[in-house]
Structure formats: structure tokens, C-alpha cells
Chain A
Amino acid sequence: MSQDIGQIWVYLSASPLLGLTITLIAYQGAFWIYQRSGANPLANPVLIAVAVLVLFLSLTGTSYETYFAGAQFVHFLLGPATVALAIPLYTQFKRVRSMLLPVLAGLLAGSLTAIVSAVWIARLFGASSATQLSLAPKSVTTPIAMGIAERIGGIPSLTAVLVIVTGILGAVGARFVFDAIKVRDPAIRGFAIGIASHGIGTARAFQVNEQSGAFAALAMGMNGALTALLVPWLVASL
């Protein structure tokens, strides 16, 4: 009997079915907890799902490569979902157009702050030069950030992890920061979260408010392009 279970496991662990299914189960469980908490940002569904999955994979001795063979079907949908962000952006276009100056000023100030403060703080506390460079593009979406890290001599795979952690930090902490500095406009809250913590922040913004989500999507796209231009130039002068 135990041999049968062993054989079933051998089959399952080699098939993409398992990776895909546990991703969906972990996320739905995490989302259930998130909703039960009254959409409390501390119960961030990405954070909970990732923690559960890392624990499960470690306990079963499953490699990330094996897991990703199944999970890639979910990962792939990031592309079309990014394209679909154009729809809420269109819906909110009137408000965006009326806020052109605040949007551009916020973009420039936020983008510079994200890059310079990350590198300086890491340097202050003794991080290696490669780590400092890997941190520079941490606030933009993964594919852009990895490309930048590679160009400036950082470690792209480390950058990918830092990007995800930054996204979760922003999604979890933004509400407390905004409440502390008394910023209530959903457009400003959304835009700032999109600048600081890209797609994961944008996902959180959409769960709170459609207008916040649209501004977060706008910020994420603009900051991705600006950071790609700024970082190589800033790193040379930092």
C-alpha cells in the first residue's frame, strides 16, 4: 500500500498538474483568509500563498523547477493581464488627464527616491557592491528590473526576489503609511503604490478601489520606463 502511494507521488511530482493545482489551492485559501480579515493588508494573499507553497515544496523535497513546470501556466497570464490594465486606465482617463502635472511630478520624485534611497541605505549598512546594484531597480516590474540589473552589473535573479519582496511590502504597508501622512485621495494612493511596488501593489490597489487600481497601473508602466532610463545613468554618479 505504501508503495502505491509512493508510486502515485512519483507520478504526481513529475507532472505539471500538481504545481498548477497547489498554486490555485494555496491562493484560494490565502484569498479566503484575506477576505475573512476584512481585506486587511497584513493578510496579503500573495504573501500567504507564497509562504504556504515554499513550506509545502520544502517539506516534500520538490524543486522549484519541478513546481514551476506546472505553475508557469498561471505565470504566463501576467502578460495578457498587463495588457488588460489598459481598460481601467481608459475608464479613468478623464481624471488622469486632469492630474497631468501631479502625475508627472510624482513619477519623477518617486522614481528617483526609490532608486537612490535603496542604494544609499544598503551601502550605509555595508551591503556588497553587487547587492547595492541589484537593489537599484527594485520598485519596477520583474522583467524590466532583471534587464536593468544585468546591464549595470547586479545579480538579475537576486533582483527578481527583491522586486517581489518590495511589492509585498508596499501592498502590506501602504495603507498605514498613507493614513499616517493623511493622504486620502484614491488616485494619489493608487499612483504612489504603483510607483513603489509595481504589479503586486497594483493588485492590492484594485482590491481596494477601481480608481486606485487604474492609477497604480499607470504608475507601474511609467515608472518601469523611467527607471530603465534613470538607473544606468544614476548608478554611474552615485
Chain B
Amino acid sequence: MLGALTQLLIFQLAGEVVARGLALPVPGPVLGMVFLFVALLLRGGPPAPLQTTGQNLLQHLSLLFVPAGTGIMVHLHRVASEWLPLALSLVISTAATLIVTALVMKLCMRAPTGDAS
């Protein structure tokens, strides 16, 4: 587990260094994900300890958003003054994004291959 965690941190560090070095608009961890993905392709799959550690981390991915989410308490007053346009914008836009993305994909899956189903 220690080795696997170290490997994840090394990939994150590499992502961070490249993202900052080349001033890319992508955060370091996302670039680290790309690097690890390429490494897995080259290696033909993750070693067992990495597989287990990755699974453990992702199983409780929601936990990791709790500290940032709690930050909402600092901005409650700012949100309160414009709550109506904010609420409508967030709810409608999120629903519209889900619908448009899903329907466009569904449409594209039918079209080119002529899938019989």
C-alpha cells in the first residue's frame, strides 16, 4: 500500500511539474492521471497493490470533497444576495448539460454503425 501510494504521488508530482513548467490550463493531478494511464497502457495493466490502493481511495471519493464543500459557510452571505439567479442558473444549466450530453451520445451511437438494436 505504501509503495502504491508513493507511485500515485510520483505521478501527481510529475503532472504538477509539467503543468506548471509548460503553463498548461490543466491541473497537475489531471495530468498525472493521463501519465498513469499511459504507463498502464505500456505496462499492460496495474500491479495488484496499485489496483487495491486505487480502489480503496476511489471507494470513498465523496469523502474527499467534504472539506472543500464545508467552505460554503464562508460564502453564504455572498450567495444569499443573488440566490434566485444563482439557483435557477445552477439547477437549469446542470439539468440541461446532463440531457444534451446524454442525448447527443445516444444519437451518435445509433447513427454511424447502424446498430441494429
CB pair B66 A225 closer than 8 Å: no
Bound-state Cα–Cα, A62 to B109, Å: 52
CB pair B25 A144 closer than 8 Å: yes
Q: Which residues of A from 165 to 195 have beta carbons under 8 Å from B? A: 165-170, 173-174, 177-178, 181, 183, 185, 188-189, 191-193, 195
Bound-state Cα–Cα, A196 to B94, Å: 6
Bound-state Cα–Cα, A215 to B108, Å: 16
Complex contacts, B11 vs chain A, CB 8 Å: 83, 86
A13 contacts partner chain B, Cβ-Cβ < 8 Å: no
A-B contact count (CB 8 A): 311
CB pair B36 A224 closer than 8 Å: no
CB pair A178 B106 closer than 8 Å: no
A26 contacts partner chain B, Cβ-Cβ < 8 Å: yes
Partner of B26, one of A81, A113, A144, A199: A144
Bound-state Cα–Cα, A131 to B75, Å: 13
Q: Which residues of A from 206 to 234 have beta carbons under 8 Å from B? A: 206-207, 213, 217, 219, 221, 224-225, 228-229
Q: Which residues of B from 40 to 96 have beta carbons under 8 Å from A? A: 40-41, 45-46, 50-51, 53-55, 57-75, 78-79, 82, 84-86, 88-96
CB pair A77 B98 closer than 8 Å: no
Bound-state Cα–Cα, A46 to B62, Å: 6
B104 contacts partner chain A, Cβ-Cβ < 8 Å: yes
Partner of B102, one of A77, A84, A141, A183: A183
Bound-state Cα–Cα, A143 to B31, Å: 13
Closest to B109 in A: A102
Chain B min CB distance to A67 (Å): 7
CB pair B72 A164 closer than 8 Å: yes
Is the contact region of chain B dominated by helix, strand, or loop, or is it mixed?
helix
CB pair B101 A77 closer than 8 Å: no
- Other 9 A-B pairs with CB < 8 A, given A80-B5, A86-B40: A31-B63, A46-B66, A78-B65, A80-B29, A117-B97, A121-B85, A124-B85, A177-B98, A228-B25
Instruction: Please list 21 pairs of residues, one from A and one from B, whose beta carbons are closer than 8 Å in the complex, sorted by A's number.
Output: A31-B62, A46-B62, A46-B65, A57-B70, A82-B12, A83-B15, A87-B54, A90-B37, A90-B41, A103-B105, A106-B108, A119-B89, A121-B88, A122-B89, A135-B93, A139-B97, A143-B27, A169-B91, A191-B102, A197-B94, A228-B25
Q: Residues of A with Cβ closer than 8 Å to B?
A: 23-24, 26-27, 31, 44-46, 49-50, 53-54, 57-58, 64, 67-68, 71-72, 74-75, 77-90, 93, 99, 101-103, 105-107, 109-110, 113-114, 117-119, 121-122, 124-128, 131, 135, 138-139, 141-144, 147-148, 155, 157-158, 160-162, 164-170, 173-174, 177-178, 181, 183, 185, 188-189, 191-193, 195-197, 199-200, 202-204, 206-207, 213, 217, 219, 221, 224-225, 228-229
